[in-house]
Every structure is written in C-alpha cells, then in structure tokens.
Amino acid sequence: MQIDKSKFPIIYGHDPRKGEMFQVVNEEGEIVNPDFMPDLTDEQLFEIYTWLIRMRISDEKANNLQRQGRMGTYPSIYGQEACQIGAVWPQEKSDWLVPTFRENGMMWMKGVPLEQTYLYWIGNEKGSEFAEDLNMLPVAIPVGSHTIHAAGIGWAERIKGGNNVAVCSFSDGATSEGDFHAAMNFAGVFKTKCVFFCQNNQYAISTHRNIQTASDTIAEKAFGYGLPGVMIDGNDVFAVIATMTEALKLAREFNTTTLIEAVTYRLGAHTTSDNPKIYREDSEVEEWAKKEPLIRLDKLLRAKGILDDEKAAKVEEDARQEVSIAAKKALEAENPKITDMFDYLLSETYPELEEQKQQLIEETNE
C-alpha cells in the first residue's frame, strides 16, 4: 500500500539532512507551531505537568537513596522528562515498550509501579517481574542490544497481523553499536511495526555526540536503510507527542519504522558512578538548563491559566508523598530466595541442576 506522505507532515515534512528540527513549544513556553499542537484538554495538559513533576521528584529520591547506600548505581532522567512522557502518551496499552536503562519514567507511565522500578535499582529481581498484561521487555543494560529485540517483535506483529507497535528507546551512544544498524536494516527490509526513539542527550557517558558519529544528525541515518527519519526538540513534550503519534500510525497502518531523534540533554550524571565535571563545562550545562522541559511547560500552563503557585505546590507535595511511599515499600520488600535462580531459570529442570540446588540449600540453610 502506497503511503500518502501528506498524512504524515511531521515525519515526511521535516528533513534532518537540511538541519530541520521539529518544535511545537519553544524555550519561552510559546506555541510556535500551532497547527501541530496536540489536541489536549486543560485536564490533560495538567496531567502532563503532574507526570513531569512526579518523574523529577522520583528521580531525585532515587539519587538520594543511592547516596545513602540504600540503592545501587542509578541512571538519572533529569532533563529528559519530556522524552519519557511524550514517547508513552500516544501509545496503546498493548503496544510494546523495549527500554534501555534510562526509561524509568516511561516504564512508570506504561504501568510499572514506581516501587517496582526502585526494587530493580536496589538489586531485587522482583523489579523485573512485570504484570502479565504489560507488553514490556526487561531493562537492557548492554548498550544497543535491545534494538534487535524490538525489530524482532515488530516483525512478529506484522507476520501475525497484529496491531501492536514495538517502541524501542535508546540514547545516542547506541547508534554506534552494530546491533543498532542490524536492527535498522532488518526493520527496513522486513517492514516491521516499530518506532526507534533516540533520546540524543549529547553524551554517551563521557563521549560527546560530535565524536560519536560523522553524520550531521542521528535521524538521517534512517535514510540509508530505506526508513523515514525526523529530528525533533526532545525538551518539547508536545513535539514528542505529536511525532510519536504519527510514527505509531505509520507503523500500525503501513508497517513502516521511523527513527526519531529527540534532541535533549542529560542535566545529571550518566549514572551515580559518573562525574560529568571531568568531561563537560558547567557553562554548557547552564545553557541547556534554560531549555529543559519543565520551564517551558510551566510558562505555557501559567499563560493559559491552568497553573498557579498554589496548584504547583500541591502537585509537588502530592508527588513527594507518593514517591516516599513507593520508596518505603521497595526498601521494606522481602529479598528473593537464593533458590529462585533454580526455580525460575528454566521451564524444565534436570538432575544435575536439582543436585546443585540441594547443595546450596544445605550450605545456606535456605
């Protein structure tokens, strides 16, 4: 079926090879592209704001828990909340989310309770035990490896005539991995139902995007595989929502995968084990901080009369209480039994494995 590209004006109407970046709301909270502003009620706009605050406070809590020695290494999403919200907002519940390790906000919006995400970063395997009706893969720590899984899921959905789309999120560093290119090539050849969503946060740990690739943009890599690619302002939640809406429709109706490059910035460290002051200047962070998602959203909602100081304070108070409860549940959760590694590793056991399990029980009194 021939694609009517005029029906997808964001994806096909903004060429990253010409340096075109799609934006709806600018850094001052002004709607600069009204024709593409998602049709959202005041209640939905306020809900998006609430999600942003919840994510920011939950992120702050996780960093504090790590510093207190009560959580393991943690990857911050500070500054990338618009990507997290916008990528999930238009999805159907049955769509697949294939996350890397910096999708804590996406997973929460998709239906993973916050305390479960905290459990994961605490080191409790229960953190990866998702509800059966939730189409989501576990967190992928190896950079870029999950892109091929997403391509496979998108291919399976096409073959079985399904309507679900696999949304795969990753950062700029993943685009230097072979798995990413294999996944893109596969998606182009086999017409998969996927969206590849790159949160270009400018750094792969300490490697700046400028020395990550020789191409002017990440989005333009899509064209080499016969796929559409588009570059958007990743700090503009409405640009992300509008673009993801088109990409999901394109995948659902035409089995066409889109590569979205959401240009954002990692305001925090790569993880709590990282010291970004070694490889980037404070002045650079300060400039990007002026473009972060909350500032423009706050200005927009206040200009519309949807938000004021009292409402903002109430949202923050409620979020802090919610996050505290989630952290308490995670910290007080029972640790998995050591024998779980035998009981849940394979669908069928065998004598040697049972012998090892029994030996461990005797040694540990489990």
Residues with a known catalytic role: 266, 270, 279
User: In a 10 Å sphere around its CB, with 0-12 CB exposed, 13-18 middle and 19+ buried, how is residue 322 labelled?
Assistant: middle
Q: Count Cβ atoms below 10 Å from residue 7 Cβ, excluding itself.
A: 13
The backbone region for 308, taken as left when phi is positive above 0, alpha when psi lies in -120 to 50, beta otherwise, is beta
Measure the CA–CA gap between 173 and 187, rounded to whole angstroms: 20
- Token code pair at residue 325: 């409860």
Measure the CA–CA gap between 25 and 133, rounded to whole angstroms: 35
User: In a 10 Å sphere around its CB, with 0-12 CB exposed, 13-18 middle and 19+ buried, how is residue 305 labelled?
Assistant: exposed
DSSP annotation of 4 reads -
Radius of gyration in angstroms for the set of CA atoms belonging to the chain, rounded to a whole number? 21
Measure the CA–CA gap between 147 and 183, rounded to whole angstroms: 6
Residues 152 and 76: beta-carbon distance below 8 Å: no
CA distances from 293 to 49, 236, 265, 329 (A): 10, 6, 10, 29
Residue whose structure tokens are 């029972």: 334
Residue whose structure tokens are 């065998």: 350
- Token code pair at residue 207: 């490697």
Residue whose structure tokens are 């795969």: 168
Measure the CA–CA gap between 38 and 245, rounded to whole angstroms: 9
The backbone region for 16, taken as left when phi is positive above 0, alpha when psi lies in -120 to 50, beta otherwise, is alpha
Residues 87 and 247: beta-carbon distance below 8 Å: no
